[in-house]
Amino acid sequence: MPRGATIISGALNGLQFMLVRNGHDAVALGRQVGLPAGAWLDSQFEIPLYDFVNIYERGAAMLDQPGIGWQSGPLLDLGDLGELGEALLTASTIGSALRTFERFLRYVQSETEMTLTVEDGVATLIYRILNPDIWPRRQDAEFTLSVLTALIRRGAGADWHPDLVCFEHSASRSTSSWTDPAFGVCQFDCETNALSFPESILAMPMPSDGRKDHRRALANLSRGLARKARANSLTARTRTAIYEGLGTGTADQETVARQLGLSRRSLHRHLSDEGVRYSSLLNECRFRVARHALLDTTHSLAQIACELDYSDQTAFERAFKKRTGMTPKQFRQDFLGTRSSAG
């Protein structure tokens, strides 16, 4: 199971509140996934991201509340995010807060991507866990977009809602239940998780404009993020960069090297020192994303080939069969047949 990615345990406080309110023992639930009791007491305790996602899925099942991720987002105390929380709470505008979240999310949650784009007057926040082996992650996606919605509402008002919400997972309940004041339109089975809203929202002021404290928190976050990056192997950082680049045409060695602050030659040399070839890392990442897409989504083979930056579907099928001995279609059908038999 994937254990490399981490998240600070303060992100669990909303779930913990809902469990306790409904008469459940959060520590006992955490024990089921190997979470130490101390994780519930120390908000800066680093836990595996896989365990965080898993415990949220288990909590939803235990409470029979498929919407627990979205419901618990507003319960997150941003102060439990440490320096990141302080930077968010002291940002002068909504745009400043979201840019801070975008830049420093990895300070509290690794192997994760958040981007804020603006095009034709529409701002879009995109969020995803990069590691395809961490699945299902329905509750994590809904929790995170709910946290972002609550953050924006600090400046835009309690009645504000995004124009569009997208999730990469399938709907777990009737879509009619999403037609509440939380947002306008909700779509599922999308390529990623996202919120869209008017660009003008970004300029709205936040309630606490602590510019000096904000600058200090940003400086601390920059140093902390640099320390975390240095603590990771180059292989791990390269793998993350490849995941980020797949589907955008930027997973080639030249672009990834530049993103990591290295030349192509230096990247090759340092990876060799760790006993790794770039081509092997790229093939591994492509396979893991392909396996996830085939087993956990309904994406067509042509769409998956595009997501993996293959020249066409045939090239994807050829590479997949070379690795597994099966075509992507056979792989998917074999899994579906096995799951159907087990059911």
Find where tokens 């030349």 sit: 263
Where is pLDDT greater, at 182 or 75? 75
Q: What is the DSSP string of 212-247?
A: HHHHHHHHHHHHHHHHHHHHS-HHHHHHHHHHHHTT
Of 95, 86, 79, which Cα lies nearest the Cα of 210? Answer: 86
Quick one: pLDDT at residue 183?
Answer: 55
Q: Give pTM, 2 decimals.
A: 0.92
CA distance 162 to 126: 13
The DSSP symbol for 205 reads B
What pLDDT, in 10s, does the model give residues 165-204? 999 998 876 555 544 455 568 999 888 999 999 999 999 9
What pLDDT, in 10s, does the model give residues 28-37? 999 999 999 9
What pLDDT, in 10s, does the model give residues 120-157? 999 999 999 999 999 999 999 999 999 999 999 999 99
What pLDDT, in 10s, does the model give residues 254-309? 999 999 999 999 999 999 999 999 999 999 999 999 999 999 998 999 999 999 99
Q: Max alpha carbon distance in the chain (Å)?
A: 61
Average pLDDT score over the chain: 92
What is the pairing mode between strands 46-48 and 6-8? antiparallel
- Domains of the chain with bracketed CATH: 6-218 (3.90.1520), 232-342 (1.10.10.60)
- Judged against a pLDDT cut of 90, whether residue 337 lies above it is answered with no
